[in-house]
Amino acid sequence: MKFKHMFKRTAVKAGSVNSAGNLFAARQPEVPDGLLKKCNSCKSAVFVEEVKKNYYICPHCRNYFRVHAYRRIEMVADADSFEEWNQGLKTENPLHFKGYEEKLEGLREKTKLDEAVITGKVTIGGTPAVIGVCDGRFLMASMGEVVGEKITRAVERATEEKLPVILFVCSGGARMQEGIVSLMQMAKTSAALKRHSDAGQLYISVLTNPTTGGVTASFAMLGDIILAEPNALIGFAGPRVIEQTIGQKLPQGFQRSEFLLEHGFIDEIVERENLKEELGRILKMHAVDGAVKGKSRIPEKADEETSQYISEEKPGQILSEQCLKNDTEQSVKNDGEQSQSGKTETKGMNQIGPKMSAWEHVQLAREKNRPTGKDYVNLLFTDFVEMHGDRYFRDDPAVIGGIAMFCGQPVTVLVQEKGHGTKANIEHNFGMVSPDGYRKSLRLMKQAEKFGRPVICFVDTPGAFCGLEAEERGQGEAIARNLYELSGLKVPVLSVVIGEGGSGGALAFAVADEVWMMEHSIYSILSPEGFASILWKDSKRAKEAAEVMKLTAGDLKELGIIEQIIREEEPLNRENLPEVFEDLSRKIQHFLEHYETMDETALVKHRYDRFRRM
């Protein structure tokens, strides 16, 4: 509804005459002060109180209004938990810029702020954190010396107190009135965050509209996890500068949050009303202490139910059971004991069903209704927070990765995803991973190492993507880098082949402490068709090649390539997948129990020796 229609009785048309015969000029409707404001996107009139109750979002078009710093803190922090730090720092005028001091004084009077950022300590969902919030009302939250100093002091104190940092970013960039002094704040804030990261602490950056210039090129883009609000403008150079430089009109959506998500630079776009809950989940996962030498982190009993539900928003999500009680004694009694080699073997685990040909296993591994990695995530884990992007070029949908809870313990989960149905197959590139996907997986693996989280990978790919763009972006280097870094990763790594394990594309997810295979999965140097084509110049001999290649779970167990075979009573599909939940969940618990008691040196040596024997 437009303003002129809401208060039309207070409007006067040109030429109107009152009862005394006086002629009036035209007059716009009179709106009571503070009652309404206009949405700058859809131009509709909105009630101010309604907007405030709706997280400062337009009820008509969902345009996001800017939020004052203290209000932002109220929206995400637990009630009465905010303790403000570093108040009263005085902004200098290093360039003696004319009118700058007067401008600052006017802004202080108008906004009731000392400067463009508020810092302090809060709790979110009961977890303590250091918070910094930029306020765009104060010189567009540009970064001068005091803004840089307040952020740096907050990060330094967070490092001392071993607390995570959350920075809400909204800025036009460096502050021109402070010149080179402003520029130096980029280095100062970045250096403080490097020390905080080296101390093993979490930094979450939340990008809001707009985030540009020197702030983008410093603390805004350095988060371990980078979140953004929808449709936020995020970039180094502003759109007008780019258009003037290149002499072209920019495409729709350029430099918006959605653009950055697609291009791999942010982890997640979060609706404002969901932000407190999402931050609480992420903080809780990082609040769990790292593994203590000689003691497993897995609780005797899960601290919450892991049941999930199927909904229209999440098609195909599989029902999960309550997390199994971790009773090691009973498990060993029922299922066997650890082997002398240190592998977490279980009696009966390698017994497989009726004898099948290798080609039959190949066909079952490729079956359209076979569960994909995402199905296993929904089955085994709770509170999954998906992370996107390689931070270099794009997000690869063939890899799904993030943080989740397994029996009350945070883990990093990585899956090669094929998708279900033609549309999803194409979207996920049939599970064929690009260089961007391998770099995304490596980023999340290194993040897991920083925070002491085990890594669990689910392998299902016909092979790495072969294409012009893959070669241009360094497919070989990306795979090699994964092998190199995984070999020395200082946290437990488990890989489970659930479908096809094709060549180096699969191996890049399987340099692990143990590799397991579902009974009807395959793992090979390349596809049987490719094998036959290269050796016999005849891809039609794929069935014959499958028998020669020793690619089944049974074959690979005999060769010592894998540690476990997960029995499938019937060939798995999406409907019967929950039947393996108990067995697979218990085995993962045993794996974590064993490998989390090892110190870093022994863990890495074990992994090295595993491959050295092959």
Reduced 3-state DSSP string for 75-141: HHCCCCCCEEECCCCCCCCCCCCCCHHHHHHHHHHHHCCCCCEEEEEEEECCEEEEEEEECCCCHHH
| β-bridge partners, 27 | 12
Given this chain, do its domains 69-284 and 344-612 carry the same CATH topology? yes
The maximal CA–CA distance of the chain, rounded, in angstroms, is 107
> How far is the C-alpha of 417 from the C-alpha of 396, rounded, in Å?
10
The two tokens of residue 167 are 């920075």
Q: Is residue 123 within 8 Å of residue 78, measured between CB atoms?
A: yes
Give CATH for domain 344-612: 3.90.226.10
Options 1.10.460.10, 3.90.1150.10, 3.30.470.20, 3.90.226.10; which CATH number does 69-284 get? 3.90.226.10
Lowest mean pLDDT among 84-88, 121-125, 176-180, 318-322: 318-322
Is the alpha carbon torsion for 473, 474, 478, 484 positive or negative? negative
Is residue 131 pLDDT above 70, yes or no? yes
How many Cα neighbours within 13 Å face the side chain of 533?
6
What is the Cα Rg of the chain in Å? 29
C-alpha 318 chain-centroid distance: 22
Q: Is residue 136 within 8 Å of residue 66, measured between CB atoms?
A: yes
Which of 395, 333, 374 minimizes the C-alpha distance to 590?
Answer: 333
| β-bridge partners, 457 | 414, 495
**In this predicted model, which residue has the larger pLDDT, 24 or 593?**
593
By percentage, how much of the chain surpasses pLDDT 70?
Answer: 84
Q: Kindly list the domain boundaries of the chain, sorted by start residue.
A: 3-53, 69-284, 344-612
By percentage, how much of the chain surpasses pLDDT 90?
Answer: 79
Residue 396 has a pLDDT of: 97
Residue range 254-275: average pLDDT? 97
Is residue 341 pLDDT above 90, yes or no? no
Exposed/middle/buried for residue 323 (C-beta within 10 Å: 0-12, 13-18, 19+): buried
Residue 95 has a pLDDT of: 95
Q: What is the DSSP letter of 491?
A: S
Residue 281 has a pLDDT of: 96
Residue range 583-609: average pLDDT? 96
In terms of DSSP bridges, do strands 83-85 and 45-47 run parallel, antiparallel, or are they unpaired? unpaired
Q: Give the pLDDT confidence of 518-556 residue by residue, as tens digits.
A: 999 999 999 999 999 999 999 999 999 999 999 999 999
Q: Give the pLDDT confidence of 6-16 residue by residue, as tens digits.
A: 555 555 555 55
pTM given for the model: 0.86
> How far is the C-alpha of 345 from the C-alpha of 156, rounded, in Å?
46
| Average pLDDT in the chain | 88
Q: With both helix axes pointing from N to C terminus, report the angle between 275-287 and 69-76 in degrees, rounded to the nearest 10.
A: 60
Residue 2 has a pLDDT of: 53
Residue range 452-477: average pLDDT? 96
Residue range 257-275: average pLDDT? 97
Is the alpha carbon torsion for 470, 474, 480, 482 positive or negative? negative
Residue 490 has a pLDDT of: 97
* Sole residue written with tokens 């007067």: 102
User: What amino acid is encoded at 346 in this protein?
Assistant: T
Q: Which residues contact 295 (CB under 8 A, 6 or more apart)?
A: 597
Which of 271, 266, 269 minimizes the C-alpha distance to 395?
Answer: 266
Residue range 423-435: average pLDDT? 97
